[in-house]
A and B are shown apart, each in its own frame.
Chain A
Amino acid sequence: MMKTLNKKINVSGQAVLEESDVRPILEALKEKLVSKNVAEEVAQKVVDVVESNVVGSRLESFTRVATAVTRALEDALTKILSPGRNINILQEVEACRRDGEPYSIVFIGCNGVGKSTNLAKVAFWLMQHGMKVMIAACDTFRSGAVEQLRTHTQRLGVELFERGYEKDPAAVAREALKKAKEEGCDVVLVDTAGRMQDNEPLMRALSKLINTNSPNLTLFVGEALVGNEAVDQLTKFNSRLIELSPVGQTHKIDGILLTKWDAVEEKVGAALSMVYISGAPVVFIGVGQQYGDLRRLNVKQIVSVLLK
């Protein structure tokens, strides 16, 4: 092991990296990723890609194998976490405003991950940017869900649209959007009930809400605490939305809101798992339970924490 780690240039000045040089290093790096809460499957795939990239390549002068491999992994992680598409919510809201349409965001995800709380934080953030916000209470199932939002809207001073419990959430969302347009709201934030990705009736109901209302943005709310399950959550939420889209339209997860970031310290791996699986960017991270606790993802910082 020490021999390969210290392998330096040969007489001709360059060495070609071989599988046997690289593998033990990548195995250790994979373990590091897993200990940082990256899903095992994702960690394996990432190191496999790095392996195929570096094996056969030439080692730069005076570089250790371990350094070269780590650098390659760093690049791979940065690439995965850097969004292909950039979501600029404020710009998109402005564009809708010019057309006289309210911009709508639907918050979806599993039970208890922080949808309603972070929806309230997003409302606060939008208000700071001078937007007129309405919140639509489309979790008509869970006890206290409506009162939870009422408390937030009263504190924030925004309008709540609610029809109580046991109503069809898709219909409540439709009514809310209509009312928001009449009232000249800039943004409608739609709260939905938590659900498990394998719960077929609930996934269909969610798809119906999205298909009938075509929101401008579908945000998947996931928690940084989640482990390997992140893979299955993102895969299934995304694929059910796509599969259940009506002909001529495709709805999928547009972006991710990653919550409870403040509870994981250096175990930031869920961010990587979720982005890797869905290809959707992390739009916000939730870093606490106060309205101001919303941040942008700092890719460089996460990559360095993952490799630390």
Chain B
Amino acid sequence: MVLAELGSKINHALRNMGTASVVDEQALDACLKEIATALIQADVNIKMVKQLRDNVKRQVQIEDLAAGLNKKRVIEKAVFSELCSMLDPSTEPYELKKGKSNVVMFVGLQGNGKTTTCTKYAYANKRKGYRPAMICADTFRAGAFDQLKQNCTKAGIPFYGSYTETDPAAIAQAGVDRFRQEKYDLIIVDTSGRHKQEDALFEEMREIEEAVQPDCIVFVIDGSVGQAAYDQALAFKKTVPVGAVIVTKLDGHAKGGGALSAVAATDSPIIYIGTGEHIDQFEHFEAKSFVSRLLGLGDWHGFMDK
């Protein structure tokens, strides 16, 4: 994940600055440039990187006013808090409630891993004692229902779908009604891949959302998506109330910076990451503990309790 590797790069940049005899504007610029390059190489949105640079500079200038402060410390702290706020949005993820039918709907770009992730999510919660069931509201992609069916069969999870009905909202509604009646406590709705350039597909997503009234909408994003991530994620958020993010395919070499854009655009936390094609290659993600692990990598001690 992006910040794990970045941690060491950023430390390197800060250490370099530390060797400069005076921390002047120039040293700060050089340091920020190094950090910015590392972030851009990890696919963090270029506008967010610019903002980070500006914010750090502004913070440092303000702090300058108070004489006698350790400048390096001020800079380090500013960089760190900017990164934390990128990863850790202000909102809390939806907590599943026992004893009620939680409806969770998955949305995202084409091929980003929604169907696979739905199954992983169902399976992970099944092991926690929930009774999950899955609905295929993708009537578009060839073989979509078979894919979900085969996944569910392997994982022992009940499923609902149709080969003939063409309206995904109708399927979703019928599936949710049925599983509610059968007292399943976690009802997962898988949807087709879509992107913001196709109005009709976004309208369809809104209709499904309206039909099933989900308790939580999960935006699934492939960890290798680059600069287009922010605008796409924002468009999803503007159409339906996304409440959580899952980043997939982090078993590759991808640094997942595009996912940080998705966090920013949807103002939603990352709740899990996908690390492989198999059902158990799925890790719970908690921004706060991730950040504190990151602290362990570098010289960040002392910032946390502030």
Identify which of B38-46, B88-96, B263-271 touches chain A: B38-46
**Nearest chain B CB to A288's CB is how many angstroms away?**
8
Bound state CA distance, A7 and B6, in angstroms?
A: 40
A-facing residues in B194-246 (Cβ within 8 Å): 195-198, 222, 224-229, 232
> Assuming the A-B contacts A34-B46, A113-B111, A223-B111, are A147 and B146 also in contact, with contact meaning beta carbons closer than 8 angstroms in the complex?
yes
Interface range for A: 35 or more
Hey, which chain B residues are within 8 Å of A289, CB to CB? 110, 140
Q: Does B162 contact A (CB under 8 A)?
A: no
Stretch in A82-90, A94-102, A265-273 with 4+ CB within 8 Å of B: A265-273
Of B70-78, B253-261, B285-293, the one with at least 4 CB within 8 A of chain A = B253-261
- Among A151, A197, A225, A236: residue with most chain B CB under 10 A: A225
- What bracket does the count of chain B residues touching chain A fall in? 35 or more
**Contact partners of B249 in chain A: CB under 8 A:** 110-112, 196
B113 with A111: CB separation less than 8 A? yes
Contact, CB under 8 Å: A41 / B41: yes
A114 partner residues in chain B, CB cutoff 8 A: 110-111
CB distance from B112 to the nearest CB of A (A): 6
Contacts of B112 in A (CB 8 A): 112
Complex Cα distance A114/B193, Å? 12
* Chain A residues near B222 (CB-CB < 8 A): 112, 225
Contacting pair B150 A144 (CB below 8 A): yes
Q: In the bound complex, do residue A263 and residue B143 qualify as a contact, i.e. CB atoms below 8 Å apart?
A: no
A126 interfacial by beta-carbon distance below 8 Å = no
Complex: chain A residue closest to B43, CB-CB = A227
Complex Cα spacing A289 to B144, Å: 14
Cβ contact of A144, chosen from B143, B225, B226, cutoff 8 A:
B143
* Residue in A31, A143, A147, A270 whose beta carbon sits within 8 Å of that of B226 in the complex: A270
Tell yes or no: B51 within 8 A of A by CB.
no
Q: Contact at A198–B253, with CB atoms within 8 Å?
A: yes
Q: Once the chains are docked, how many angstroms separate the CA of A197 from the CA of B253? A: 8
Check if B110 sits within 8 Å of A260, measured CB to CB.
yes
Please tell me if B283 contacts chain A, counting CB pairs below 8 Å: no
Whether B258 contacts A148 by the Cβ 8 Å rule is no
The answer to whether A143 and B195 touch across the interface, beta carbons within 8 angstroms, is no
Q: In this assembly, does B147 line the interface, its C-beta being within 8 Å of a C-beta of chain A?
A: yes
Please tell me if A127 contacts chain B, counting CB pairs below 8 Å.
Answer: no
B252 within 8 Å of A (CB atoms): yes
Cβ distance B70 to chain A, nearest Cβ, rounded Å: 31
Query: Which residue in A39, A151, A227, A260 is a CB contact (below 8 Å) of B257?
Result: A227
In the assembled complex, B151 has its CB within 8 A of some CB on chain A = yes
The secondary structure that dominates the B interface is loop
A34 to B227, CA, bound (A): 8
| Residues of chain A with a CB closer than 8 A to B277's CB | 111, 141-142
User: B142 contacts which of A152, A198, A227, A228 (Cβ < 8 Å)?
Assistant: A152
B143 and A148 contact, CB distance less than 8 A? yes
Shortest Cβ distance from A56 into chain B, in angstroms? 26
B230 nearest CB across to chain A (Å) = 10
Residue A37 CB within 8 A of the other chain: yes
* A149 B143 Cβ-Cβ under 8 A: yes
CB interface residues, B 147-166, toward A, < 8 Å: 147-151, 154
Q: Is B37 an interface position by the 8 A CB rule?
A: yes
Complex-state Cα separation, A227 to B224, whole angstroms = 6
The proximity string for A residues 224-259 relative to B, scoring 1 for CB distances below 8 Å and 0 otherwise, is 011111101100100000000000000000000000
Which of A34, A228, A264 has most B Cβ within 10 Å? A228
Most chain A CB atoms below 10 A, which of B151, B226, B254, B277: B226
Assuming the A-B contacts A142-B277, A227-B43, are A196 and B252 also in contact, with contact meaning beta carbons closer than 8 angstroms in the complex? yes
Contact of A196 with B110 at beta-carbon distance under 8 Å, contacts A144-B150, A147-B147, A269-B227 already known? no
Determine whether B128 belongs to the interface, using a CB cutoff of 8 Å to chain A: no
A108: shortest Cβ distance to chain B, in Å?
Answer: 15
Nearest residue (CB) in A for B141 is: A148
B226, A226: Cβ atoms closer than 8 Å: yes
A150 at the interface (CB under 8 A from B): yes
Indicate if the CB atoms of B144 and A144 lie closer than 8 Å: yes
CA distance in complex: A237, B197 (Å):
30
CA of A139 to CA of B113, assembled, Å = 17
CB-based nearest A residue for B250? A196
**Is there an interface contact between B228 and A264, defined as CB atoms closer than 8 Å?**
yes
Q: Binary interface profile of A, 173-199, with partner B (CB < 8 Å = 1, else 0)?
A: 000000000000000000000001111
Q: Is B109 positioned at the interface, with any CB of A under 8 Å from its CB?
A: yes
Do A225 and B197 contact each other (CB < 8 Å), given the known contacts A111-B249, A113-B111, A143-B146? no
B221 to chain A, nearest CB (A): 10
**Given A37-B228, A227-B43, 13 additional A-B pairs, CB 8 A:** A112-B111, A112-B113, A112-B249, A145-B147, A146-B143, A147-B143, A149-B142, A149-B143, A196-B249, A198-B252, A226-B224, A232-B253, A289-B110
Binding site for B on A (CB under 8 A): 31, 34-37, 39-41, 110-114, 116-117, 120, 141-152, 155, 196-199, 223, 225-230, 232-233, 236, 260, 262-265, 267, 269-270, 289
Closest 6 CB pairs of A and B: A227-B226, A144-B147, A148-B143, A112-B111, A151-B142, A147-B146
11 contacts between A and B (CB under 8 A): A36-B227, A111-B111, A112-B113, A141-B277, A144-B143, A144-B147, A148-B141, A149-B142, A198-B253, A223-B111, A227-B225
